[in-house]
């Protein structure tokens, strides 16, 4: 004897369903996070040009504005990149905030004998700290309003002037260490969210975090020690 079993047709899954699911939001976080890591890597390499001298890094900064010429007008490539970065940052933060809220609601009654998860708390509070830092960093070295010695188009001068102030160095170094912790967990987490199952991905994430953080850190250290003046 056999019985026919009615199998319902597969439901349509539009973008809204993807965004509504926890894994969909995590995927958005992973893709935008990895895009930001790629940007950070390029930013870090550009900063290292300071060791080649003022003409080199100032020329590099000017070149960034001429990419795509003559098809693109002056500075347009940079604005395309900036819009892309803003979209990535906004999506990353919105998804993170919604997921964090959901995660908190998933445990309405806390454990009396609780334990703090280091990775989860550094990702959330570290991430929020980084967001505040990025705003200050743009006002300091891109717009220049938070930097009295700022000269437009003179990144070498601006960087040296910036890192000659002790508290700027403190802010910068603390933010970088936060970034290192964020990347150390975030890179591997993004890879897992995108389906990478190998155990070595954590090591890769740590290497990425150390290389990017180290690459950024050598600049203020070089200014502080007088290597770059």
Partner 1 sequence: MKLTLRIWRQSGPRDRGRMVTYRVEDVSPDMSFLEMLDVLNQDLIMRGEQPVAFDHDCREGICGSCGVVINGRAHGPERTTTCQLHMRSFADGDVVDVEPWRAKGFPVVKDLVVDRSAFDRIIAAGGYVTAPTGSAPEAHATPVPKPDADVAFDNATCIGCGACVAACPNGSAMLFTSAKVTHLNVLPQGQPERERRVLDMVEAMDQEGFGGCTNTGECVASCPKGIPLASIANLNREFLRASR
The residues of the shown chain that bind partner 1, judged by CB under 8 A, are 2-3, 5, 7, 10-11, 13, 17-18, 20-27, 99, 102-115, 117, 119-120, 123, 185, 188-189, 192-199
What one-character-per-residue DSSP string does 111-164 give? -SS----HHHHHHHHHHHHHHHHHHHHHIIIII-TT-TT--TT-HHHHHHHHTT
User: 123 or 168: whose CB is closer to partner 1?
Assistant: 123
Q: How far is the CB of 134 from partner 1 (least distance, A)?
A: 22
Q: Which residue has the tokens 């590099």?
A: 60
Contact criterion met (CB below 8 Å) for 28 and 91: yes
Q: How far is the CB of 52 from partner 1 (least distance, A)?
A: 39
Classify residue 75 as left (phi > 0), alpha (psi -120 to 50) or beta: left
User: 122 or 164: whose CB is closer to partner 1?
Assistant: 122
The rounded distance, in Å, linking the Cα atoms of 207 and 187 is 10
User: 55 or 109: whose CB is closer to partner 1?
Assistant: 109
Q: How far is the CB of 32 from partner 1 (least distance, A)?
A: 15
Q: How far is the CB of 40 from partner 1 (least distance, A)?
A: 20
User: 142 or 198: whose CB is closer to partner 1?
Assistant: 198
User: 26 or 92: whose CB is closer to partner 1?
Assistant: 26
Q: How far is the CB of 140 from partner 1 (least distance, A)?
A: 31
Q: Of 61, 18, 32, which is closest to residue 154 (Cα–Cα)?
A: 61
- Vertex 50: Cα angle to 220 and 59 (nearest 5): 145
Q: What three-state secondary structure class fits 73?
A: coil
């Amino acid at each position: 004897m056999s019985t026919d079993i009615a199998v319902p047709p597969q439901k349509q899954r539009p973008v809204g369903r993807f965004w509504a699911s926890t894994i969909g939001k995590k995927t958005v976080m992973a893709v935008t996070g990895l895009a930001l890591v790629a940007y950070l890597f390029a930013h870090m390499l550009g900063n290292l040009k300071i060791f080649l001298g003022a003409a080199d890094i100032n020329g590099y900064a000017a070149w960034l504005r001429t990419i795509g010429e003559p098809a693109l007008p002056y500075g347009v490539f940079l604005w395309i990149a900036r819009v892309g970065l803003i979209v990535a940052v906004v999506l990353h933060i919105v998804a993170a905030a919604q997921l964090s809220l959901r995660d908190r609601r998933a445990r309405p009654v806390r454990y009396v004998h609780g334990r703090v998860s280091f990775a989860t708390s550094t990702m959330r509070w570290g991430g929020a700290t980084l967001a505040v830092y990025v705003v200050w960093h743009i006002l300091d070295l891109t717009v220049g309003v938070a930097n009295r010695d700022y000269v437009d188009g003179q990144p070498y001068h601006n960087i040296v002037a910036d890192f000659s102030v002790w508290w700027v160095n403190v802010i910068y170094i603390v933010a970088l260490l936060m970034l290192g912790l964020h990347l150390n967990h975030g890179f591997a987490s993004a890879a897992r969210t995108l389906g990478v199952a190998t155990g070595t991905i954590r090591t890769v994430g740590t290497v990425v975090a150390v290389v990017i953080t180290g690459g950024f850190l050598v600049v203020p250290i070089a200014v502080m020690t007088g290597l770059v003046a």
